[in-house]
Amino acid sequence: MNKQKITLAVTGLNNTDNPGPGVPFIRGIKESEAFDARIIGLVYENLEPGIYMENLCDRIFQIPYPSSGSDELIERIENIHQQEQIDVLIPNLDAELFSFMKNEGRLRSRGIQTFLPNLKQFQEREKDKLPEFGKKYDIKVPGSINMSTLGQIKDLEDKYDYPVMIKGQFYDAYVAHNEEQAKQAFHTIASKWGFPVIAQEFVKGTEVNVIALGDGKGNTIAAVPMRKQYITDKGKAWGGITLADEKMMELTRSIISKTKWKGGMELELIKTNGGEYYLIEINPRVPAWVYLAVGAGQNIPEALVKLALGMDVQAMTKYKIGKMFVRYSYDAIVDLEKFAAISMNKEI
Amino acid sequence: MKITEDIKISDNGFVFNSRTGDSFNLNPFALELMKNIEAEKSFDQIKAEVMEKYDIDDLSFEKDFYEFCALLKHHQIVLQDNPLDFK
């Protein structure tokens, strides 16, 4: 079969101890039988490991953080597009998604395709809106309170038993076993991530996750459930295994069908000892363990790029059960020239 | 008592629960018991075979076997509607 030549731009090459999904996404594309992709790596920092990995990207460009303004970011993408003629852009980091979603039309008019959730889908699954999301779509979620003052911690005890999860709106979560710990977590999170700080009921059980892909019409194109086997102190999976759990699959299909989810997603669930599932978070993009799905038989990166290009994609329903991933760290020795080029020229 | 469909038992004693992702290592005797349970042998049959093969009194065997079964149930390796049903 002749592979279609495309130019694919990917962010999230930060394969650190808090890894982005860019590198495993590219690995999936390189194994695609449909595409012969020229890979454009888009990075925010000059030490993102994906820059230095051999045979990963054909070109690398540094782009400005979305916090410096959406326009600046999109203008930089347009500038890169003039050189490289990007067919598809896959943003992989939470913080940049809003800017790319907002500018989807502008990018499309330049010939750059994306496949992202719409703003409504993106916003209604935000952590501080989870109780409303659960109610609307009939999904069990832990109770939570959005806190903007320290005084609200005193009221927590009336509502929930300790331990309680204290979470940032975008990132970070701590288990607080008493009022003092809750206050400490509140301060840490508020100073880093701002308000609201979310106090969430602690649901006892096993954390399980699903990676999935929705076509935007209510169909689940791909879904693979996984359990983390090895978790870092940042709560990141350093090892995981695919599961045979029909209930998780049903829940995933139901969420995608009801929300008409468009794009990649990760569901974070707690399975209680009684076999109930509580949704604790929806990440609006593929997770860093996306390559496990590829290894288990569902090439989600390939399917996502196909959807972005408007191609027909058949739903993938089978995957290998008991497939594992084990992450590792590796010291790449690199020449100073590469570091100098990305630092000075903002491109390689 | 039945081993659930999600359980895979390797000949070297590695047990994998594909629904929960849990895995366990069995020692040779536990593997022998698991194989007997998998073959749906009755408690009396298993007891007779074990007592024939090993130097153990029936009280100790029953106590250890029930403990083992409780562990299997706890880890969702077996389905057991009736807690006294070891057949």
Measured between CA atoms, the residue of chain A closest to residue B6 is: A244
For tokens 């279609």, the residue is A4
> Is A245 within 8 Å of B8 when comparing Cβ atoms?
no
Q: Over the stretch A147-163, which tens digit does the pLDDT of each residue have?
A: 988 888 888 888 888 89
CB A231 within 8 A of CB A237: yes
Residue numbers in A near B21 (CB within 8 A): 208, 226-227, 229, 241, 243
**Nearest chain B residue (CA) to A248:** B19
Summarised one tens digit per residue, pLDDT across range B5-62 is 899 999 999 999 999 999 999 999 999 999 999 998 999 999 999 999 999 999 999 9
Length of chain A: 348
Q: A308 lies in a domain?
A: no
CB B21 to CB A243 under 8 A? Answer: yes
Q: Looking at the structure, do residues A91 and A162 belong to the same domain, yes or no? A: no
Domain extent for A192:
143-201
Non-local CB neighbours of A236 within 8 Å, separated by 6+ positions: A17, A18, A19, A288
A67 phi-psi bin (left φ>0, alpha ψ -120 to 50, beta other): alpha
Q: Domain for residue A54, yes or no?
A: yes
CATH number for the domain that contains residue A158:
3.30.1490.20
Q: What is the pLDDT of residue A123?
A: 93
Q: Both A22 and A90 in a single domain?
A: yes
Instruction: Give the SS3 label for residue A266.
Output: strand
The answer on A9 and A111 residing in a single domain is: yes
The residue ranges of every structural domain in chain B are 2-79
The pLDDT of residue A168 is: 87
Nearest Cα residue to A26 out of A86, A92, A110, A80: A92
ipTM of the complex as predicted: 0.74
* Domain final residue pick, A180, A201, A222: A201
Q: Of A152, A183, A201, which marks where a domain is finished? A: A201
Distance from CA of A207 to the nearest CA of B (A): 10
Q: What secondary structure, in 3-state letters, does chain B show?
A: CEECCCEEECCCCEEEECCCCCEEECCHHHHHHHHHHHCCCCHHHHHHHHHHHCCCCHHHHHHHHHHHHHHHHHCCCEECCCCCCCC
d(CA B25, CA A181) in angstroms, rounded, equals: 38
CA dist A239 → A8, A35, A230 (Å): 28, 29, 5
pLDDT per residue over A89-110, tens digit each?
999 998 899 999 999 999 999 9
| CA dist., res. A290 & res. B68, Å (int) | 38
What are the per-10-residue average pLDDT scores of chain A (348 residues)? 93 93 97 96 96 95 90 95 96 93 95 96 92 93 90 84 87 88 91 87 92 96 95 88 94 96 96 91 95 98 97 95 94 92 91
Same domain? For A15 and A72 the reply is yes
Residue A41 shares a structural domain with residue A102? yes
User: Which residues in A lie closer than 8 A to residue B10 (C-beta atoms)?
Assistant: none
Q: Which of A167, A201, A235 is the last residue of a domain?
A: A201
What CA–CA distance (Å, rounded) separates A9 from B52? Answer: 69
CATH code, domain carrying A103: 3.40.50.20
The number of domains in chain A is 2
Bond preceding residue A196 cis, omega within 30 of 0: yes
pLDDT confidence of residue B44: 93
Contacts of A226 in chain B (CB under 8 A): 21
